[in-house]
Structure 1
Amino acid sequence: MAVMEDVLLLIDLHQHALRQGPGGEEETRRAIELAGLAKGRRWKIADIGCGTGASTLVLARELDADITAVDLLPEFLAVLQERAARLGLAHSITTLAASMDALPFAPASLDAIWSEGAIYQLGFERGAREWRRFLRPGGILAVSELTWLTTNRPQELEAHWVEQYSEVGSAASKMAVLERNGYSPLGYFVLPERCWFEAYYRPMQRRFPAFLAEHGTSEAARAIVASEEQEIALYERYKAHVGYGYYIARKL
């Protein structure tokens, strides 16, 4: 029951947010460019772990594409559908409520797989390995992933993120994962600080008072806010050491 309560609280906190993690429209467009995708061809793309569709909407606007937006939570997909309809992009987007470890795509059926800030839920290596079969030869994998930016890190920071996500690693280690799983890296860049503060953390912090008021300042709601505030404080102190790397690679 406690786990289900936490899930429902997290849905409530994030459901109407533009983003459920760090990112930006400019960065999605940069990844599209590095991937070599352009208008003029009807691409088949899956956006896995799409949340409420921040990256999905950019893909639909920038490309001629049939996009399947995948998320485990129907509540997030409903918000995406509303936004797509309002922007006149619904004809390019099909939503699918599914787990990222049980995707229904046919082998070699996709031109590109996108996953901004979500592949960690499956694990970077497992995701790269298992999703590869859905890509046609030469297909594109574009993902953003928690990445160490320096060789040496403060112990407090390292202990936090290793506990939260054991696959956190350097860009070099992530490139090596892609190469040994049958990809050729095409590009890499680090999300700038505004993708964390302006796009994700500050809007979330502005929602905290209403969120706590709505849930009667319950112990579970307060614990979620405290956990998020701890993560924000760590990033504020140590942002030179950790960030999201955006990785673009081609299936060999």
Structure 2
Amino acid sequence: MSEENKNINDFDFDLICAYFSQFERQGPGSPEVTIKALSFIDNLKPESKIVDIGSGTGGQTMILAQNAPGHITAIDLFPKFIDQLNIQAAKLHLQDRVKGIAGSMENLPFQEEELDLIWSQGAIYNIGFEKGLKEWNKFLKTGGYLAVTEASWFTEKRPKEIQDYWDNAYTEIDTIPNKVAQLQKAGYIPVAIFTLPETCWTDNYYVPQSKVIEDFLKKHKGNPTAEGFIDEIKKEIRFYSQYKEYYGYVFYIGKKI
């Protein structure tokens, strides 16, 4: 792969973990957005089983636990993220209801029809939207819910620069109607679909990064991989500022038929 066509996922996992473990959240979002999405879920009880897939350090996991009944298993590929999540759960006295485990979203440790809610903010792209919807469906009880955020086009036509960027970064990016059709095809009734506000990207995701980028570069001075990684971060931030009217994250909430 040429240097021009690299995206963040092509870099060293340890480097990615070291960078993103500095932040409360590893993707666009906000407590308000998580609570709004949760308001469409009506089947939760104290004994309910919830999984947060691709939880990161648990920014949204804690909001879920503070605003919904049930037991939450948080899963992420990076053990360092999970360690931070479990420490935070203990600080908030949620350790009896929240447990973080390191693992892959492609090999989930659940039985069929065991879960009441599957949650995934900013992470389903790692397995692919359609594949995730289909493979995770079997773990949900009939009437259970799935709530995920997914990068989506807001318009039918886009400038070539941003189209090419996303075609390389995530080939499954698509328009909202096409994503809803995929949700239905995978066995869910669409319950709610809404876009994340711009502040979820800027204030809550990019602003915290902009404050540490230079320190990160100093720490990894002379490391071309780290420098290339930060170049991609800066490009992502610049493109969002320039093209945010064309794309963003959308919350897709479905109920298993």
- 1:237 matched residue in structure 2: 242
Task: Tell me if 1:123 matches 2:128.
Answer: yes
SS of match in other structure, 1:176: helix
Moved more, 56-65 or 125-134: 56-65
CA offset at residue 4 of structure 1? 9.8
Letter in 1 for 2:89: A
Q: 2:41 aligns with which of 29, 32, 35?
A: 35
- 2:156 matched residue in structure 1: 151
SS of match in other structure, 2:29: coil
**Unaligned stretches of 5+ residues in structure 1:** none
User: How many aligned residue pairs are there?
Assistant: 249
CA offset at residue 78 of structure 1? 0.6
Q: 2:197 aligns with which of 192, 195, 202?
A: 192
| Distance in 1 (alpha carbons) for counterparts of 2:93 and 2:212 | 28
CA displacement, residues 26-70 of structure 1 (integer Å, 9 cap, x when unaligned): 0000011012255x5432100000000011101110112100000
Q: Please say if residues 46 and 71 of structure 2, whose CA atoms lie closer than 8 Å, have aligned partners that are also in contact.
A: no
| Distance in 1 (alpha carbons) for counterparts of 2:103 and 2:248 | 28
- 1:11 matched residue in structure 2: 17
Inter-CA distance 250–12: structure 2 relative to 1 (3 Å threshold) = same
Q: Which has the higher helix share?
A: 1
| Distance in 2 (alpha carbons) for counterparts of 1:92 and 1:217 | 44
| Distance in 2 (alpha carbons) for counterparts of 1:154 and 1:53 | 35
SS of match in other structure, 1:106: coil
| Distance in 2 (alpha carbons) for counterparts of 1:164 and 1:106 | 33
Q: Please say if residues 16 and 79 of structure 1, whose CA atoms lie closer than 8 Å, have aligned partners that are also in contact.
A: no
Letter in 2 for 1:247: Y
Letter in 2 for 1:21: G
Task: Tell me if 1:247 matches 2:252.
Answer: yes
SS of match in other structure, 2:22: coil
Q: Normalising by the residue count of structure 2, what TM-score does the alignment of the two structures yield?
A: 0.94
Identical positions, percent? 40
Letter in 1 for 2:138: R
Moved over 6 A (4+): none
Q: Please say if residues 145 and 256 of structure 2, whose CA atoms lie closer than 8 Å, have aligned partners that are also in contact.
A: yes
- 2:170 matched residue in structure 1: 165
**Unaligned stretches of 5+ residues in structure 2:** 1-8
Q: Normalising by the residue count of structure 1, what TM-score does the alignment of the two structures yield?
A: 0.96
| Distance in 2 (alpha carbons) for counterparts of 1:37 and 1:85 | 26
| Distance in 2 (alpha carbons) for counterparts of 1:135 and 1:150 | 32
Q: Please say if residues 193 and 251 of structure 2, whose CA atoms lie closer than 8 Å, have aligned partners that are also in contact.
A: yes
| Distance in 2 (alpha carbons) for counterparts of 1:37 and 1:60 | 15
Cα RMSD after superposing both structures: 1.4
- 2:223 matched residue in structure 1: 218
Residue pairs, 1:1-150, within 5 angstroms: 6-37=12-43, 40-150=45-155
CA offset at residue 123 of structure 1? 0.2
| Distance in 1 (alpha carbons) for counterparts of 2:79 and 2:124 | 18
| Distance in 2 (alpha carbons) for counterparts of 1:7 and 1:62 | 32
| Distance in 1 (alpha carbons) for counterparts of 2:222 and 2:197 | 33
